[in-house]
Homo-oligomer: A and B are copies of this chain.
């Protein structure tokens, strides 16, 4: 390849590398805020994070990046770049165009309004009064519409809302999502009814038994060991800390998860560690040769969620996992669960029950929560409904989909912080993750037909290696639609996920 091409590409990648280094440092500062920071430091911390974000923005809009991109793309030997190099070019250009096209005043105004809206949301939620939140929500929606219209041009999407979806799920569209979600909804509602009316119902009282926090910490360690998330050895690249809302953060050799421990809901920490552990092993097992390159990141929010839900639900809520882990749990918890048998336990942790709150939802109802939000977002951004109408439509949807009566908006439309925080287009990822996980499972079952037996023996190694090879190591080499096809040979499809659910829950509930 021509010297000039190699040299420009190297320079560009050096700039990308610097951005990854800065952002991974900022992630540590953010992690510290959530886990360790003395409370008094909050004002100082917001200044620190704002500064790091400003520096990051300056680095990613550096005009030299634009120049290098042009030099490389117009170079007569451009075609000699390999697929990874071309993907890096594509991802850098996409990010650069987005970052440079959004006017700085709009970005600043959105950030300012997000802070105001989150504050108003907190107060309105506490007061159970949507009208306190409404004017601020209207403003943030208007600002996001403006941004979406600009991004639509850069990203060449069909609608402004598609441009927002694209941030989290590249090239995915509301049209495609609507199609698969409609299909999903119908089957889930029917499955839900079957579970609700089945004669065999779970005894969930065992999940309310008190498990001391110290013991829950030991359970977390055992789970981390099971998924191969090293937090203890001298080569450990992870750690578990405690926050109200569990999350995963980090980059390659420093990927951290958090959980929360409540004495009377031990299963909450248990499944959150498996969930975040799924995210963590994805980040840890990205292709190490691609560190500091755009291609060396997770594929999309939906793909990330596919990995966390895979480990949490498909593995962690399987009967086979508990064949292995229930004796361990009994060992770790003294006599707390000594009288509990496998089937009782497995049915309890897989109880299907409509609830008002998404984050507590089971596998069957979870996507219904998401579909409701997606429909609202799509219609808001298409100007089909207004912010003022949200509570009414929300409550009606919960009645229709889940048979649930919402009594006040704090447990309804104001339950999530996402909209106040300006996160639009993100909700679908949660359900897409489940859909991907079903397709990935179907393919894995062909390659590893014995996987359930392996889990029953406490062996997650082969499954993990399969995930690393077939999912993690691809990083961001493909857009999600291409990646799912690369992995499974199929287009996006809800069938495998529905098959998995139907099979699992018909056995559990005996219908």
| Dominant secondary structure of chain A at its interface with chain B | helix
Once the chains bind, are B239 and A36 in contact (CB under 8 Å)?
Answer: yes
- A214 CB to nearest chain B CB (Å): 12
Instruction: Digitize A242-264: 1 where CB-to-B-CB distance is under 8 Å, 0 elsewhere.
Output: 00000000011110100000000
User: Do A254 and B21 form a contact, CB below 8 Å, given A28-B29, A29-B29?
Assistant: no
Asked whether B254 lies within 8 Å of A40 as measured between CB atoms, the reply is yes
CB distance from A51 to the nearest CB of B (A): 5
Question: What are the interface flags for A24-68 relative to B under an 8 Å C-beta threshold, 1 for contact and 0 otherwise?
Answer: 110011001000111111011101110110010000000000000
- Which residues does chain B contribute within 8 Å of A28, judged by CB atoms? 28-29, 32, 48
Q: Does A407 contact B (CB under 8 A)?
A: no
Contact with B along A227-240 (1 / 0, CB 8 A): 00011001111110
Which residues on the B side are within 8 Å of A38 (C-beta)? 231, 236-239, 253-254, 256
Minimum distance in angstroms from A17 CB to a CB of chain B: 9
CA distance A48 to B44 in the complex (A): 20
A230 and B40 alpha carbons, distance in the complex (Å)? 10
Total chain A interface residues with beta-carbon distance under 8 A: 36
Q: Which residue of B lies closest to A233 (CB)?
A: B39
**CB-contacts of A393-447 with B (<8 A):** none
Give complex CA distance A234, B43 in Å.
14
The one of B39, B51, B253 that contacts A21, using a Cβ cutoff of 8 Å: B51
- Closest CB of chain B to A288's CB: distance in Å? 12
CB–CB A251/B40 < 8 A: no
A22 at the interface (CB under 8 A from B): yes
Q: How far apart are the CA atoms of A216 and B47 in the complex, in Å?
A: 35
With A40-B235, A40-B236 as given contacts, are A51 and B22 in contact (CB-CB < 8 Å)?
Answer: yes
CB A48 to nearest CB in B, in angstroms, measures 4
Expressed in whole angstroms, the Cα–Cα distance for A29 and B21 within the complex equals: 12
Find out whether the CB atom of B36 lies under 8 angstroms from the CB atom of A254.
no
Question: Which chain B residue lies CB-closest to A239?
Answer: B38
Contacts of A252 in B (CB 8 A): 44
Chain B hits for A55, CB < 8 A: 55
Contact A24 B43 (CB under 8 A): no
22 contacts between A and B (CB under 8 A): A18-B51, A21-B47, A21-B48, A22-B48, A28-B28, A29-B29, A38-B237, A38-B238, A38-B239, A38-B253, A39-B235, A39-B236, A39-B237, A40-B230, A40-B235, A41-B237, A41-B253, A43-B253, A44-B251, A44-B252, A44-B253, A44-B254
Chain A residues within 8 Å of B, Cβ to Cβ: 18, 21-22, 24-25, 28-29, 32, 36-41, 43-45, 47-49, 51-52, 55, 230-231, 234-239, 251-254, 256
